[in-house]
Structure 1
């Protein structure tokens, strides 16, 4: 009696999904935790799509996100795959590295501590 092994479908047949790497997500969640500790953010959402991965940070659950951190690998060789998007949809910062894109939010955190 021989066993029949059915191969797993190839990934090329399915739609690919963009996600955050572990180190990227740790950096984003570290910033989120510090903003929660400062009393500024209350909730977050993660959206993983075919073209982009988005981390949204909310002041309150029922409103628009205050900031969205978007990873769009298709723009890697152009203006950079990272973008910081404000509450009204304006791109506040764009870049090739995550750190400089998060800098405006981290500076805001420093001001919150000083007050």
Structure 2
């Protein structure tokens, strides 16, 4: 196993839970930026968006301070790009908490 060092600051914006006028749960809005903390782009798609296959999925590694993350939340590079979370998984370390991280699959947000 290798430990890959963080090389960019990444923050998180968590989506709030809302309820519409009929009492139906809704996704709500994105909250304020939390962080940033150390992070890393693990892999990027060869093509970030294709009419036939849909958007490309990026793999990011973010600090566990962003946990919990859910689909619809955003990972943000301050002053730069943002990714909508598709899937997130927490990898805590029993050996050393400083190497715990969250693996995120996300889609680049287009402006």
Q: TM over 0.5, yes or no?
A: no
Q: Pick 1 or 2: higher relative contact order, CA cutoff 8 A, min separation 6.
A: 2
The structure with the largest alpha-carbon Rg is 1
TM value normalised by structure 1:
0.28
Q: Which has the higher helix share?
A: 1
Calculate the TM-score normalised by the size of structure 2: 0.29
